[in-house]
Structure 1
Amino acid sequence: MGKKGTLYSIIALVTLALLLLIQYSKPKEINWFPSFVSQHKIPYGTYVLNDLMVQKYKENLKQVTRPPYEELQSHNDMQGTYFFVNDHVSFGEAELNSLLDWTSRGNTLFIASSSYDAELKDTLNFETSGLYADFGEDQKQVHKLLNPAFTDDGSHTFNKDNFATYFSELDTIHAKVIAQVDYTLAVDSLQQNHFNVIKQEFGQGQIILSAFPKAFTNYFILKDDNKDYTAGLLSYIDGGQPIYMDNHYKSGKSFYTSPMYIFLNTKEFKWAYYIALIGVLFYVLFEGKRKQRAIPVVVPLKNQTLAFTRTIADMYYEKGEQKSITEHKIAYFLEYIRSHYYLDTTNQDDVFFHNLAARTNHSTEEVKDLFTMMEKLKAQTDINNSDLITLNTRIEKFKLKADGKYP
């Protein structure tokens, strides 16, 4: 490598080192993925919610990891509240019917989700729509609890989404509104009310639906005094009975099976892994180029059997030894019959001719005529080229007809 090549390599390595240093020094990006997993401490995890509920409800809080259908089938004596919170909760028909039947027996079904199944909408007679922010610069959602029993005004802000879900149609006879959401257009100015939390009696139990699941996330609860809003929603749950926290319907994973998650989720391990990969790449480029040699091409040996056979045949033919060629031709033909049709050629009688004709698509007369010709040629002491050509032609036609390739 010349001086210029060495200089360019040093410049490339220094540049790469600077880029790695800059990337390593950057602050860790915040993960805004809406996982809703109880173990996640990211903004949209529910670690804070579960921690507070453990402190408040203690042994009454039950963590459920199985699908609701399996849980209800295996515990017929379940009583209390089944709590679901996720960006989207989708039940199957059998599972939804099982949950509704359980709720009608005096239990509470609490679902916080931004979208709902069509079957649940038809059952409770409601529809959802999206509420979108205006083009103003200061756009934030204002969430408000409507129960007059709360001491504060019940208004709490959330400025991370430019859209909100609300219930556009309700069963006005049975549904009771709990909270609403709107966007601010100006100071102390709100749009018309849009209800996003409702409660509805179902049989002897009740169903609470919230179209704002992020009210139960770490970010919302820890920001300002928003915890009062979340506490207000939880006050509709009977804490004296078991509360079953669903951990099955979650957008994120509760645990990671791949060991690479540890490396890629830890800053130091991640960059150590990247540096190791870059080192391997440099080793392959420089060491591999230094030691690798061209592999010579080995030409496989050719099959010379056919060429050898043709050479020997030409020698016999040029020397005029038609007698020897005829004997070899007849002997090879007899060996062909023995190996292909498994017939003994020692006794060439009528039985032999009949069996050979039956196996080769020939008549007995054709077979007998061919063997008569061969016996005649074997008895002759002088054989000319015409007799040899005739013998070869008849043997080849015999084989072709035996294979069904000659009429």
Structure 2
Amino acid sequence: MGKKTNIYIVIAVITVLALMVLQYNKPKELNWFPSYVSQHKIPFGTFVLHELLDEKFDAIQDVQVPPFEFLNANFEAEGTYFLVNENIKFGGPELEKLLDWTSEGNTLFIASTSFEEDLLDTLGLSTSGLFAGFGEAQKQIHKLVNPNLKPDTAYPFDKDTYSNFFETIDTLNTKVLGIVNNYEDSLALEKKHFNAIRQGFGDGKIILSTFPKAFTNYFILKDNNRNYTAGLLSYIDNSKPVYIDNHYKAGKKFYTSPMYIFLNTKEFKWAYYLVLIGALIYVIFEGKRKQRAIPVVVPLKNQTLAFTRTIANMYYEKGQQKAISGHKIDQFLEYIRSHFYIQTIHREEEFYQNLASRSSHSSDEIKQLFDFLKKLGNQTEVTDSDLTKLNSSIEKFKHKANGK
């Protein structure tokens, strides 16, 4: 190898080492995955909940198997079966087993964003969604309704812009425990959406909550939110055992893959990367062919995306935010025409109603969005903040229109 090649190798090695040092010293990113695992200390784990239950209740038992298997093996078990996860769906036989067990004088406590239709039909319930909309204060507040649990206290939560609630309940047999609504400056709940209820079932009772994140580390440790969680847990009978489900969890209790354990340790991970980089350098400089390679004719690449990005950057660097917003609005109108088959020339009340019915929005939400588009179109100057808000509003419209 020549002198120049050696210089290039030294520069490459120094660059790689510098990048590795920067990455090694970079703060570890927070894991926001909703695992609901009792051993996890990440924001949406339930380590704090498990410690709280151990402290407040006399008999706590972790259940690692499905409820059907546990109740079959422990037919004499009595108390409360406690389940919390992002989504919990039982099969027919398992649901029937749980309901039979509950009717014998036990308590079934489920915290999940959604419930299967068989359970809802059995209890005479139906659910719906509450979306935070396009406003700037995109968070929701929760309250307890029991007079003994400070019903005037509001518990804001800023990590969800969408939540489910019980739209229809059996008013004769159902007791409301908690309510939710979108954030307002007054923290008042003018519209009461029920998201925590209790219903008698045979000689037992069933407690349902559509807000499982109320039992996560992040929620409990933030401000005084622990009072909300403790309020819901106060409906559990302390004199009987509490069976905590560890089967229906989005995350894993432990990882069996050796690579996960290896890469989860910073020192091992970078040692592994160093070996890969060293092997790559060897292949590049020592593994090349000794004879002249046959030239490969590379087909022309599609440069449409690169061209589009270049043009967009030119607009932005020249401060032409007004032109960017115009193109963005035109593209959004074309999206409406091609996806909902609605002409966008005349934007009157009929247009708002048609688009709302086809995109799962209300007429007021559609009108609010198009008023904002009209406002941007009339402005002589558009700021970076306006562009950010425009992009956010359009993405939220598409997100909700697609049923997500």
Mark yes or no: TM-score above 0.5: yes
> Which residue in the other structure is 1:207 paired with?
206
Aligned to 2:127: 128
State the shift of 1:52 in Å. Answer: 1.3
Query: Structure 1 residue 21: deviation in Å?
Result: 1.9
Q: How far apart, CA to CA, are the structure 2 residues paired with 1:281 and 1:189?
A: 61
Which residue of the partner structure matches residue 260 of structure 1? 259
Cα displacement string for residues 219-259 of structure 1 (whole angstroms, at most 9, x for unaligned residues): 00011111110000000000110000000100110111112
Q: Does 1:50 align with 2:50?
A: yes
Q: Take 2:3 and 2:168, find their aligned partners in 1: how far apart are those partners?
A: 77
Alignment of 1:258-297 (within 5 A): 258-289=257-288
State the 1:287 CA deviation.
4.0
Distance apart, 1:186 and its partner CA = 3.3
Q: Report the equivalent of 1:10.
A: 10
Q: Which residue of 1 aligns with 2:77?
A: 78
Distance 1:2 1:222, change over 3 A: same
Q: Which residue of 2 aligns with 1:240?
A: 239
Is contact 1:185-1:191 (8 Å) kept?
no
Ranges in structure 1 where 5+ consecutive residues have no aligned partner: 295-407
Letter in 1 for 2:14: V
- Verify: 1:20 aligned to 2:20, yes or no: yes
Residue correspondence of structure 1 range 327-366 to structure 2 within 5 A: none
What one-letter code is carried by the residue in structure 2 that aligns with 1:220?
Answer: F
Q: Distance in 2 between matches of 1:187 and 1:14?
A: 57
Matched to 1:195, the amino acid is: F
Partner-residue secondary structure (3-state), 1:40: coil
Which amino acid in 2 is paired with 1:56?
K
Equivalences for residues 296-335 of structure 1 within 5 A: none
User: What is the identity, as a one-letter code, of the residue corresponding to 1:124?
Assistant: L
Query: What TM-score, normalized to structure 1?
Result: 0.69
- Give the TM-score normalised by the residue count of structure 2: 0.69
Task: Give 1:2 shift.
Answer: 2.4
Question: Alignment length, in residue pairs?
Answer: 293
- Contact 1:136 1:185 survives alignment (8 Å): no
Indicate how the Cα distance of structure 1 residues 284 and 42 shifts in structure 2: closer, same or farther if over 3 A, else same. same
Describe the superposition over 1:65-88 as per-residue Cα deviations: whole angstroms up to 9, x where unpaired: 111111111111110000000001
Task: Name the aligned partner's letter for residue 8 of structure 2.
Answer: Y
CA distance in 2, matches of 1:177, 1:232: 13
Structure 2: segments with no counterpart, 5+ residues? 294-404
Counterpart position of 2:163 = 164
Contact residue 143 and residue 156 of structure 1 kept, 8 A: yes
**Whole-angstrom distance in 2 between the partners of 1:88 and 1:10:** 53
SS for the counterpart of 1:77 is: coil
**Secondary structure in 1 matching 2:57:** helix
The C-alpha deviation readout for 1:121-167, integer Å capped at 9, x for no partner, is 11011111111113222222111000001246332111011111111
1:305 corresponds in structure 2 to none
Query: Match of 1:273, SS?
Result: helix
Look up the SS of the partner of 2:229 in the other structure. helix
Percent identity between matched residues is: 59
> Does the 8 Å contact 1:183/1:191 carry over to 2?
no
Residue in 2 that maps onto 1:40: 40
Q: CA deviation at 1:185?
A: 3.4
2 CA distance for matches of 1:54 and 1:291? 69
Indicate the residue corresponding to 1:105 in structure 2: 104
1:198 maps to 197
Change (3 A) 1:121 1:188: closer
Partners of 2:165 and 2:79 lie apart in 1 by: 27
Deviation digits for residues 284-340 of structure 1, max 9, x if unmatched? 433444999x9xxxxxxxxxxxxxxxxxxxxxxxxxxxxxxxxxxxxxxxxxxxxxx
TM-align CA RMSD: 2.0
Contact preservation (8 Å) 1:132, 1:163: yes
**Helix, strand or coil: the match of 2:148?**
coil
- Give the equivalent residue in structure 2 for 1:330: none
Rg: which structure is higher?
Answer: 1
